[in-house]
Amino acid sequence: MSEHTVSTQPIEGQRPGTSGLRAKVKTFQQPNYLENFVQAVFDSIGDISGQTLVLGGDGRFYNREAIQTILKMAAANGFAKVLVGQGGILSTPAASCVIRKYQAFGGLILSASHNPAGPDEDFGIKYNIGNGGPAPENVTEAIYARTLNITAYQILDCADINLDEKGKFSMGDMQVEVIDAVADYAALMQELFDFDAIRSLFTQDFSFAFDAMHAVTGPYAKVIFEGLLKAPHGTVMNGEPKDDFAGGHPDPNLTYAHELVDILYGEDAPDFGAASDGDGDRNMILGNHFFVTPSDSLAVMAANATLIPAYKKGIAGVARSMPTSGAADRVADVLGIDCFETPTGWKFFGNLMDAGKVTLCGEESFGTGSDHVREKDGLWAVLFWLNILAVRQESVEGVLADHWVTYGRNFYSRHDYEGVDSAAATQVLQNVRDQFDSLKGQTLAGRVVQMCDDFAYTDPIDGSVSENQGVRVLFEDGSRIIFRLSGTGTSGATIRIYLESYEPDTAKHGLDAQEALADMIDAANHISKLPELTGRDKPTVIT
């Protein structure tokens, strides 16, 4: 066994995006691509000698090979120990849980979230810091800077570790411990929620379907829902993780989770339906013929938090990403707590949670979480809802109807245009930017434009500034149209248009969101010239 220094050259395009470095598997398989990035991480995060690293991924194609390479590099770079999930698998929230529980220095998570997997699909890697959360921008920028001047990486020349066997192994001077991460995660969930109340819900006339979408949450969901909570066998659908997600697109939304959606909107639909994504951090919540927008889900959680054991004393504050609807703000107002508005991406919530300023966080992109870890957490959100339903003994639709009566309804939708030409996508946003001055005071969609800007955020804890986080058109009545380009795609550009309109009138709460927002959608197309520039007459995905 010997340690090698391998010389290398910088590879372009290794800047982490909204959630780590994402690229095609074929790109990651290029000589030195993975190694350069991992060495850049190890060179940028401080003194790692003698420290513990957590390592795991969503099980997608190339996960196992990447884990073996990273283990050998961790050993050569001086880590004392690596905790790796059995089979090389850790859901993203479980990785965050393990980093915190074992006070690791940080973790490497191998995932491209909900993006399709397989030899011709996507792979990804991101570094999480010791609080269990995604590295903040100053760290990801330092990693990127290092990828631009890297000249060599360190790797141990040794045999692979058997990732399927739990236990402690040596790799040079480093210890590798293969752990059962489902157990640690399930233990944390039992501390937070009233498992007895949820168990008793399953003895009543209550039915539930959970779609793991052939991805990482299957084993976790089976242990928690069918094992600990005694939900009937078969509650968990598509529960065997596959390295290509069975050819699917494990993004829990109305388009990609259609198998579950068909069940919840079919005959004899269950009372409750939920799904999670490739790496287990996203969630979709459905009732019988009913969809809960993620923005509303966050607001309902905030309003009902004291029903949950972990949050029974109340929540410190809430945070939402800027494009997420203002539904949670209304709850925060009534509760007399702060509501923070951050840029898109979970990494912006970490400082607020560490400082004790917020307990619950959410994004419109099917992400909700709390300070129990520092990632969004799909199964946690499902358990939160089950606990609410167990206590309130109402339907999902009933909980929402009641919520809207109290707080009003924020009609909300996101329209995604995927695989658009990059120059056209940039121009769509620029068109709106060019009209910032002239739009102000104009009436669009029957509403007066109050202001337009490029969203910028100053972190209230460390003062760091993040600019250009979305083009906003804000109306006097609180309605909003927001344009953003995705930072997680691996080919072409994705334009996201976020539409929101507030409706206090209960009589109008039954409207379909697309109907309620129709004039806003027209206005968005008109000011951006999106149809003309992209040649698209409808979005790829509507959520």
| Shortest separation between residue 483's beta carbon and ligand G1P, angstroms | 12
Q: Which residue has the tokens 């050819």?
A: 247
* 281: nearest Cα among 18, 23, 86: 18
Q: Which of 415, 421, 416, 413 is nearest to 535 (CA)?
A: 421
Which residues are 6's β-sheet partners? 153
Checking DSSP bridges between strand 106-110 and strand 152-157, what pairing results, if any?
unpaired
> Of the two residues 349 and 385, which places its CB atom closer to ligand G1P in the complex?
349
Considering only residues 435 through 474, tell me which ones interact with ligand G1P, judged by CB under 6 A.
Answer: none
Candidates 140, 342, 344, 543; binder of ligand G1P (CB under 6 A) is: 344
What letter does residue 91 receive in the DSSP assignment?
-
| Interface positions, 361-390, toward ligand G1P (CB under 6 A) | 363, 365, 367
Q: Among residues 359 and 488, whose Cβ is nearest to ligand G1P?
A: 488
Per the CB < 8 A criterion, the answer to whether 318 and 311 are in contact is: no
Smallest gap, in angstroms, from Cβ of residue 139 to ligand G1P?
Answer: 17
Task: Select from 156-164, 312-320, 343-351, 514-522 the region that touches ligand G1P (CB under 6 A).
Answer: 343-351
Tokens linked to 226:
């069918």
Binding of residue 18 to ligand G1P (CB under 6 A): yes
Decide if residue 487 touches ligand G1P (CB under 6 A): yes
R_g over Cα of the chain:
23
CB of 218 to ligand G1P, least distance (A): 19
CB of 176 to ligand G1P, least distance (A): 29
Least distance from C-beta 89 to ligand G1P, angstroms? Answer: 18
E strand or H helix at 58: none
Counting residues that bind ligand G1P (by CB under 6 A) gives 14
Q: 309 to 338, contacts with ligand G1P by CB under 6 A?
A: 321
Q: Where are the alpha helices (DSSP H) in 337-457?
A: 350-354, 378-392, 396-407, 422-434, 436-439
User: Which residue, 260 or 485, has its beta carbon nearer to ligand G1P?
Assistant: 485
Question: Nearest approach, Cβ of 323 to ligand G1P (angstroms)?
Answer: 7
Question: Of ligand G1P, Zn ion, none, which one sits near residue 309, judging by CB under 5 to 8 A according to partner kind?
Answer: none
Q: Note the residue count of the chain.
A: 543
- The continuous run of DSSP H or E covering 399 comes out as helix 396-407
The binding site for Zn ion (CB under 5 A) comprises 113, 277, 279, 281-282
Tell me whether strands 409-420 and 541-542 are parallel, antiparallel or unpaired. Answer: antiparallel
Pairing of strands 409-420, 443-444: unpaired
Q: Which does 78 bind (CB under 5 to 8 A by kind): Zn ion, ligand G1P, none?
A: none
410: phi then psi, degrees, rounded to nearest 5 = -95, 95
Q: Which of 44, 91, 111, 113 is catalytic?
A: 113
- Check if the beta carbon of residue 221 is closer than 8 Å to that of residue 241: no
Contacted entry of ligand G1P, Zn ion, none for residue 487, CB cut-off 5 to 8 Å set by kind:
ligand G1P
Which one, 113 or 217, has the nearer CB to ligand G1P? 113
Q: Which of 488, 501, 534, 543 binds ligand G1P (CB under 6 A)?
A: 488
If the CB atoms of residues 329 and 375 are measured against ligand G1P, the closer one turns out to be 375
Half-sphere exposure of 465 (CA within 13 A, CB side): 5
Does 113 participate in catalysis according to the annotation? Answer: yes
For the chain, the 3-state helix, strand and coil shares in percent, each to the nearest 5, are 35, 25, 35
Residues 260, 342 contacting (CB under 8 angstroms): no
Q: State the CB neighbour count (10 A cutoff) for residue 306.
A: 13
Closer by beta carbon to ligand G1P, 271 or else 281: 281
- Please, what sign has the CA dihedral across residues 405, 410, 415, 416? negative
Sort 172 into a burial class: Cβ within 10 Å, 0-12 / 13-18 / 19+: middle
Binding partner at 279 among ligand G1P, Zn ion, none, C-beta below 5 to 8 Å by kind:
Zn ion
Cβ(252)–Cβ(245) below 8 Å:
no
Nearest-angstrom CA–CA distance, 392 and 386: 10
Say how far residue 408 (Cα) sits from the centre of its chain.
Answer: 27
In the complex with Zn ion, which residue's Cβ is closer, 121 or 279? 279
Residue 249: count of CB within 10 angstroms of its CB: 18
- From the list ligand G1P, Zn ion, none, pick the one residue 486 interacts with, judged by a Cβ distance below 5 to 8 Å according to partner type: ligand G1P
CB of 279 to ligand G1P, least distance (A): 9
Within positions 495 to 534, which residues make up the interface with ligand G1P, using CB under 6 A?
A: 496
Nearer to ligand G1P, 93 or 367 (CB): 367
Binding segment (CB under 6 A) for ligand G1P, from list 261-269, 342-350, 419-427, 502-510: 342-350
Compute the least distance from the CB of residue 467 to ligand G1P, in Å: 15
Is 147 a residue that touches ligand G1P (CB under 6 A)?
Answer: no
Residues that bind ligand G1P (CB under 6 A): 18-19, 113, 321, 344-346, 363, 365, 367, 486-488, 496
**Which residues are tagged catalytic?**
113
